[in-house]
């Protein structure tokens, strides 16, 4: 994770507000007016006391009473409007952030997300982004309001005597700036560690839920529960420390406010004794300071929570700024499929070389079979044709053009890729299939399923194609999921089919139907067929054997 200071994170998060600048300015104006209205309720009350004591006051009691009622009504309306604006900004920005994070994840996938902790990513997308609501709704405009309000209050108090204005300024700076900064530093890395531990717990729970059948089968539930409790206890320790700091923050803030109120009172009395200030100045200035800490107290209370917020923001910014290993291509001329090939390709995952000087030719409208032991690079070759990764050496081409110079969308349109593990979403069979072609008609979906030998099975289900498949397709067998994956590939109707073990979980009857469908597809499609089954390879036009990352 990239290390950023809290100030750097804050500036980057504020930069995201640009599309909603007008709403932010509106929130600041209404918030400032609302706090002024609240303070003047007390100020007018002070003038009323002067009037009762027979001292000079600006207005009569009737006018002052009406002014107090008016200020109270204004305060209520302006507070509501300010909070509405702030939360509108916050939730709009959260939606914008989630959209940008998903765009970033899409660009990073699959190369940069291979092996990444999915639970931690879920934590970033959900709780970390949600936590930024505190920053956008309760930090940016409150900070601006506190600065402007404090300046106006200093000018008002200074109209009675400059020394009292300096006392007020010192009070506002200590409560609104010094205390939050000190508390934030005292929090140290607790916020960052808390967010990391939260991500680890989410990942552990997700992993446990997915592996629940195996945990139950092998009696590992007690051990797994102990580990989960350890994660929870660790998280609770950091949260307890953060709560303790927050409580200390509140106590220090209230004590400092009390001391400054006393300081203002004694300073005003001293000036009164010196004849430099009237009794009205003593009363009004003291009342004004005592009633005007609201905006800066809001900032002081953020000192203990901003570390957690900035830690969440840091994790979100990490994803937004992370550079993909494979950049998407656009702006090139569209091409049509006319064969493919790999020439002298060398590719490694980290330090492990998978393909070494690998060369293969894929003629148009042929079925090419690729066999080899596990780990020899068969599946990797298909991913290189899809350009999930870029090769270290050599050239992977489509229609004689290197895949790295073909528009990514154009490349995906020309290829249908079926992996060994078919991912099914928690949705109906129909919607799961439509991922391959969003505008597919029911007739096209059924035709693809018949080619994949899964139509008859679907029709036996209670709701047919509208039957939900459960999370990760858990309600279906591995063979049924595999045939749905193959139906997706057929539905996409691309001229280049890349099939990775398409029949590994099927019985002989279903395999025969699918092989017959593939045989019919060779009339207008090119197929790469990766399989360990000899029976599957009987339909290929040419067979390659891959050993040690080379064609043999």
> When comparing pLDDT for 289 and 373, which is higher?
289
What are residue 392's phi and psi, to 5 degrees?
-80, -35
User: The CATH number of the domain where 351 resides is what?
Assistant: 3.40.50.300
In the prediction, which pLDDT does 550 show? 63
Q: pTM to 2 decimals? A: 0.69
Measure Cα distances from 193 to 11, 237, 310, 311 in Å: 22, 11, 12, 8
As a whole number, mean pLDDT of residues 255-279 equals 92
- The pLDDT of 293-310, averaged and rounded, is 74
CA–CA separation, 551 and 342 (whole Å): 11
The total number of structural domains in the chain stands at 2
The answer to whether the CB of 542 falls within 8 A of the CB of 514 is: no
In a domain, residue 330? The reply is no
Q: Which of 321, 349, 373 is the last residue of a domain?
A: 321
Residues 37, 119 share a domain: yes
Q: Are residues 12 and 89 in the same domain?
A: yes
Q: In what order do the strands lie in the sheet with 393-398?
A: 352-362, 340-349, 393-398, 401-402
Residues 312 and 433 in one domain: no
CA-to-CA separations, 468 to 113, 125, 421, 431, 492, in angstroms, rounded: 28, 26, 19, 9, 21
Residues 366 and 270 in one domain: no
Q: Residue 332: inside a domain, yes or no?
A: no
CATH number at residue 157: 1.20.1560.10
Residue 434 placed within a domain: yes
Do residues 311 and 351 share a domain? no
Q: Based on the domain organization, do 362 and 427 belong to the same domain? A: yes
Cα(161)–Cα(271) distance, rounded to whole angstroms?
9
Q: In whole angstroms, how far apart are CA 11 and each of 140, 215, 242, 471? A: 10, 46, 24, 40
Share of the chain above pLDDT 90, in %: 34
> Is 217 a member of any domain?
yes
Question: Rounded CA gap, 371 and 377, in Å?
Answer: 10
Give me the pLDDT at residue 304, please.
59
Closest CA to 521 of 380, 377, 376, 365: 365
Residue 236 inside a domain? The answer is: yes
In the block, tokens 């409560």 appear at 175
In a domain, 328, yes or no: no
Using the predicted structure, report yes or no on whether residue 242 has a pLDDT greater than 90: no
Last residue of a domain, one of 289, 321, 353: 321
The pLDDT tens digits for 179-235 are: 887 877 776 667 667 777 887 887 788 788 778 878 888 888 888 889 889 988 888
Mean pLDDT of the chain: 86
Residue pair 300/142 in contact (Cβ under 8 Å)? The answer is no
How far is it, in rounded angstroms, from Cα 384 to Cα 370? 15
> Is 398 a residue whose pLDDT tops 80?
yes
* Same domain? 120 vs 153: yes
In a domain, 264, yes or no: yes
Same domain, residue pair 355 and 300? no
Confidence of residue 302 (pLDDT cuts 50, 70, 90): low
Mean local confidence (pLDDT), 229-246:
84
Same domain, 117 and 237: yes
Predicted confidence at residue 471, as pLDDT, reads 64
| pLDDT for res 473 | 64
| 110 & 215 share domain | yes
Domain holding 501, by residue range, is 340-551
Shared domain check, 124 and 269? yes
1: in domain = no
Sign of CA dihedral 142, 143, 148, 150: positive
Cα separation, 316 vs 339, whole angstroms: 42
Q: What is the pLDDT of residue 548?
A: 65
Residue at which a domain ends, from 275, 290, 321: 321
- Are 111 and 215 in a shared domain? yes
Over its C-alpha atoms, the chain yields an Rg (Å, rounded) of: 34
């Amino acid at each position: 994770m990239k290390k950023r200071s809290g100030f750097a994170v804050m500036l980057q998060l504020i930069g995201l507000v640009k599309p909603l600048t007008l709403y932010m300015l509106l929130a600041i104006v209404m918030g400032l007016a609302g706090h002024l209205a609240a303070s003047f309720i007390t100020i007018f009350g002070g003038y009323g006391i002067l009037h009762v004591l027979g001292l000079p006051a600006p207005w009569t009691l009737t006018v002052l009473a009406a002014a107090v009622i008016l200020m109270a009504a204004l305060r209520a309306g302006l507070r509501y409007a300010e909070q509405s604006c702030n939360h509108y900004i916050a939730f709009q920005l959260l939606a914008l952030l989630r959209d940008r994070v998903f765009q970033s994840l899409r660009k990073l996938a699959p190369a940069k997300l291979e092996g990444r902790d999915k639970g931690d990513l879920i934590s970033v997308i959900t709780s970390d982004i949600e936590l930024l609501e505190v920053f956008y709704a309760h930090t940016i405009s409150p900070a601006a309001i506190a600065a402007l309000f404090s300046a106006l209050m200093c000018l008002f108090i200074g109209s009675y005597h400059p020394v009292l204005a300096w006392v007020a300024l010192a009070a506002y700076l200590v409560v609104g700036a010094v205390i939050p900064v000190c508390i934030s530093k005292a929090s140290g890395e607790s916020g960052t560690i808390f967010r990391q531990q939260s991500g680890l717990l989410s990942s552990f729970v997700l992993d446990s839920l997915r592996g629940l059948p195996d945990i139950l089968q092998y009696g590992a539930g007690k051990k797994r529960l102990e580990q989960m409790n350890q994660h929870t206890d660790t998280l609770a320790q950091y949260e307890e420390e953060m709560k303790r700091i927050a409580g200390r923050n509140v106590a220090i803030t209230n004590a400092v406010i009390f001391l400054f109120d006393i300081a203002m009172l004694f300073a005003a009395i001293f000036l009164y004794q010196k004849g430099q200030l009237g009794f009205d100045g003593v009363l009004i200035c003291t009342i004004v300071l005592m009633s005007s800490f609201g905006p800066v107290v809001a900032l002081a209370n953020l000192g203990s929570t901003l570390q957690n917020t900035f830690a969440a923001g840091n994790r979100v910014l990490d994803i937004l700024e992370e550079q993909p290993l494979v950049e998407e291509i656009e702006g090139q001329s569209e091409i049509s499929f006319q064969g493919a090939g790999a020439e002298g390709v060398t590719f490694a995952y980290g330090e492990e070389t998978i393909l070494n000087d690998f060369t293969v030719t894929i003629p148009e409208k042929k079925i090419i079979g690729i066999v080899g032991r596990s780990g020899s690079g068969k599946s990797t070759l298909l991913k290189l044709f899809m350009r999930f990764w870029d090769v270290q050496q050599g050239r992977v081409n489509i229609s004689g053009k290197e895949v790295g110079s073909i528009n990514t969308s154009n490349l995906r349109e020309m290829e249908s890729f079926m992996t060994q593990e078919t991912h099914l979403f928690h949705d109906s069979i129909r919607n799961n299939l439509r991922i391959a072609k969003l505008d597919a008609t029911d007739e096209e979906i059924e035709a693809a399923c018949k080619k994949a030998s899964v139509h008859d099975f679907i029709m036996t289900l209670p709701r047919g194609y509208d039957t939900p498949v459960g999370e990760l397709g858990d309600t279906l067998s591995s063979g049924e999921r595999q045939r749905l994956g193959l139906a997706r590939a057929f539905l996409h109707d691309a001229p280049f089919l890349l099939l990775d073990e398409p029949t590994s979980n099927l019985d002989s009857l279903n395999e025969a139907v699918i092989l017959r469908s593939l045989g019919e597809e060779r009339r207008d499609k090119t197929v790469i067929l990766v399989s360990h089954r000899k029976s599957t390879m009987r339909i290929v036009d040419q067979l390659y054997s891959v050993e040690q990352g080379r064609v043999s």
